Amino acid sequence: MAEGAAESGKTNEEPKRVLIVDDDEATRKLLKATVEGLSTPCLVYEIADGDEAIQFARRNRPDLALVDIVLPGSEASGVMVCRELCRDSRTKVVVISGQASDAITQAALAAGATAYVRKPFSVDELRSKLEGWLRG
């Protein structure tokens, strides 16, 4: 189940909806804190399961989804989640994963991912990229 939305940002513009899909709670919390620290106002949703993420995205149409490739216990892999979420042109999908093989990176990009970020990542660098993805 999607964990509650937390709003971030300091302006009056309509908040961007950001979906975080990762089976690792610590990674979800780190990504959530990173998004909440942005100057762009955001509503942040956390989901640990790929199947639930697809259903959630169909109902809520996020502006940005941060998706892990490996989602144990889920019928849908991160690449499948990416492909499904990219069907909605509104949603930018960024894959954030420790799976660094060229084949997996290419599969995610071929599925429509905007970018592929490898774990471990620099929070400062990711924050800068997130601002750009949410504006553009």
The answer on pLDDT for 8 being more than 60 is no
Q: At 3, is the pLDDT very low, low, confident or very high (cuts 50, 70, 90)?
A: low
Among 66, 24, 23, smallest CA distance to 44 is for 66
pLDDT at 99: 80
Which residue carries 């959530």 as its tokens?
Answer: 32
What is the pLDDT at residue 76? 81
Asked whether the predicted pLDDT for residue 5 surpasses 70, the reply is no
pTM summary value: 0.90
Confidence at residue 58, expressed as pLDDT on a 0 to 100 scale: 96
Dist CA 123 CA 39 (whole Å): 15
* Chain segment 11-29, per-residue pLDDT in tens: 567 999 999 999 999 999 9
Q: For residue 7, is pLDDT > 60?
A: no
One-letter amino acid for residue 120 of the chain? P
- For the chain, which residues make up each domain, given as ranges? 16-135
Judged against a pLDDT cut of 70, whether residue 10 lies above it is answered with no
**Which is nearest to 134 in space by CA: 34, 56, 6?**
34
Res 75: pLDDT: 80
Q: How does pLDDT run across 45-104, given as a tens digit for each residue?
A: 999 999 999 999 999 999 999 999 988 878 888 999 999 999 999 999 999 998 878 898
Q: Is domain 16-135 annotated with CATH 3.40.50.2300?
A: yes
Give 64's strand partners: 18, 92
Q: What is the pLDDT of residue 40?
A: 95
Angstrom distance (rounded) from CA 46 to CA 9 = 18
